[in-house]
Each structure stands twice: as C-alpha cells, then as structure tokens.
Amino acid sequence: MGKFVLTKSERLCREKEIELLFRQGSVVFVYPLRVIHTLHQAKTPTPDQVLFSVPKRHFRRAVDRNTLKRRMREAYRLNKLTPMPGLSRQIAFVYIGTELAPFDIIRKSLVRTLEKIAQTQV
C-alpha cells in the first residue's frame, strides 16, 4: 500500500499494549496535543502503531470528539514517520485542548511532535 494510508495494522487496539504504553511511555507536549510514545525491538517488520484519544471531560458531544479524532488521524496519515528497520513505535495522541481546533493547528502541532519523537529516537 501507499504511504498515505492508515491501515488496521497501524492502529493500536490491544488493551495490554495500551496500558503498557501509558505506563512506560515518554511524553511530549505540543499544545493542543499530548503524545505518549515507546520504542520496541521487533523481530518482524511491523508498522508504527497509533492511538487517538479525545477526553469526554472537555467534549461532551460525541460529534466534537469524533471530529477532532478524524482531524488527528488525517494529519498523522499525511505526515507519518518513516519506519525504522528492526524497531516498532507505539504512539498515543491525546487531545488536551478545551476548544475545537482547526485542522491546520492540529497538523502543525502533530508534525512538531513527530519531529521531536524522531529526534529522541535517533
């Protein structure tokens, strides 16, 4: 598949892996995003796995939460990190803002967080 897709294998779904990520992951803040990430050795080549979360505390309406998650997924899909051979990343994007941000702001902060993640893992 092409670079600009977000397949099922790239989504972080397993509850144990999510708990481990939030417990042991490193945190990067770039408003309005909080990003938790880990790096693991992988025997087989695996794509980076991502999770997108918007807390119900700030956005009671599901429409708003879904809109923000859709914007974050699209920004990630267009600006993915290049996979590292033998290594697998797990990344959780948590929206910490209190207002609906336009796509451009989300994209810029997501790109900055991905750059920070790439710098720390080199």
**Is 6 contained in some domain?**
no
Give 98's DSSP letter: S
> In sequence order, what are the beta bridge partners of 36?
27, 92
Residue 23 in domain = yes
Quick one: pLDDT at residue 104?
A: 97
Query: What CATH number should be reported for the domain holding residue 24?
Result: 3.30.230.10
- Give the range of the structural domain holding residue 54, as residue numbers without chain letter: 11-120
- Per residue in 4-35, pLDDT (tens digit) is 788 888 999 999 999 999 999 999 999 999 99
Domain contains 87:
yes
| pLDDT classification of 122: cutoffs 50, 70, 90 | low
In a domain, 88, yes or no: yes
State the average pLDDT over residues 59-79: 96
Residue 89 pairs with which residues in a beta bridge?
39
Angle at 98 between CA 14 and CA 56, to 5 degrees: 40
For residue 76, being part of any structural domain is answered with yes
* Count of domains observed in the chain: 1
Q: What is the mean pLDDT of residues 26-48?
A: 89
Strands 33-41 and 49-53: unpaired
Global pTM value: 0.91
| CA contacts within 13 A on the Cβ side of 57 | 7
